[in-house]
Amino acid sequence: MAKETCIFCKIVRGEIAAEFVYKDEQMVVFHDLYPKAKHHFLVVPTVHVETFLDLQDNHFPLLTNMIKVVQHLIKDKKLHGAYRIVINGGRHQEVPHLHLHLLGD
């Protein structure tokens, strides 16, 4: 999918409204529209990378920052007791733009 038509790229560009829980130059975080847990956040890089398998060496600093943001969210939202971090791929990845799911009780 081209970044011009990607739903997450449109959210990043402000073409589709989303209430951000977190935002910086490298990523945005917002609530999943179809939550699978009491707390379900999507951690989405601002750069369009389609899948986990498309990550290149130059993306690893971005991944490190994504993990740091997830750690912050777990602490800030008090999800210490139970949380999951998920990366979907293949037919399980509904939006072809790399993202993390943070799910917690």
Give catalytic residue positions. 99
In this structure, what token pair is assigned to residue 17?
A: 């409204």
Decide if 8 contacts 95 (C-beta within 8 A).
Answer: yes
* Helix, strand, or coil (residue 74): helix
For the chain, the first-to-last Cα distance in angstroms comes to 33
Structure tokens at 26: 């490298």
